Amino acid sequence: MAEGVRRRRKLKPVEEAIQFSLEQKDKNGLEGRFISHLKGRGVFSCTDFEKGDFLLEYRGDLISKEECERRQRIYHDALKVFMFEFRYNGKLLCVDAARDDGSLGRLVNDDHINPNSRMKTIRVDGKPHLCLFATRSICPGEEITYDYGDSEWPWRCTTLSVVEPSTLEVNTLSESEDTDVEEDIHNEIKPGD
Ligand SMILES: C[S@@+](CC[C@H](N)C(=O)[O-])C[C@H]1O[C@@H](n2cnc3c(N)ncnc32)[C@H](O)[C@@H]1O
């Protein structure tokens, strides 16, 4: 087959995650949008994604536990929420995405009930990268969410209020098979830490 006609092999999700991690770019088909003053911004799909697809990297500075603790002492609460602590090869590490570099990963919101993606670590050049993969098919217009992990996140407080005798409404008060995939992870920080 002539060089120009040769088809590019479709990358596996983890290969795509590695490529985007190396290029430090977000893929097309996703956009950041303002949702509300309580929730802030979020990331929305503008295309169809399939279960297992790579979506985004949670980009930031990869730092040690000690450096994370040092930054937490000087950061305002609004910045601390961008510090994603995780365990890798038995060590506590952190990706600090406090600096707004325009990347989308840092804008993905929490949903512990019906998330559509999951955070995993992938190894690129010996270093862990935090990447989100779709856990089900995602339609255009859907918000991308993942489970931040067990913690007393303030927005998870809910109340039940009776709307009609038989109708309950939930009101939110505040708002691998591949060898490079290490493990599913959760954010281990607690709000205000
Ligand atoms: C990593 S940031 C996500 C992006 C954030 N929404 C923004 O605009 O910068 C985490 C913060 O987003 C907000 N957040 C995340 N998930 C939420 C949810 N389900 N409901 C309300 N606020 C949420 C909280 O303020 C949280 O501290």
Q: Could you tell me the domains of the chain?
A: 7-184 (2.170.270.10)
**φ and ψ at 113, to 5 degrees?**
-100, -45
Residues with CB under 6 A from ligand 1: 38-42, 81-82, 106-107, 109-111, 155, 174-175
Q: Give the pLDDT score at 35.
A: 98
Tokens 């490079």, residue located: 180
Mutate which of 79, 80, 95, 110 for ligand 1 pocket (most atoms within 8 A of beta carbon): 110
Ligand 1 center–CA 172 separation, angstroms:
13
In angstroms, the CA 69 to CA 193 distance is 9
Q: Atom 20 in ligand 1: which residue has the minimum CA distance?
A: 175
**Distance, C-alpha 151 to centroid of its chain:** 16
Q: Give the pLDDT score at 186.
A: 58
Q: Give the pLDDT score at 12.
A: 95
Low-confidence ranges of the chain (pLDDT < 70): 1-6, 158-193
Q: Give the pLDDT score at 9.
A: 80
Index of the ligand 1 atom closest to the CA of residue 81: 27
Burial 146-161 (b: 16+ CB within 10 A, else e): bbbbebebeeeeeeee
Q: Give the pLDDT score at 189.
A: 42
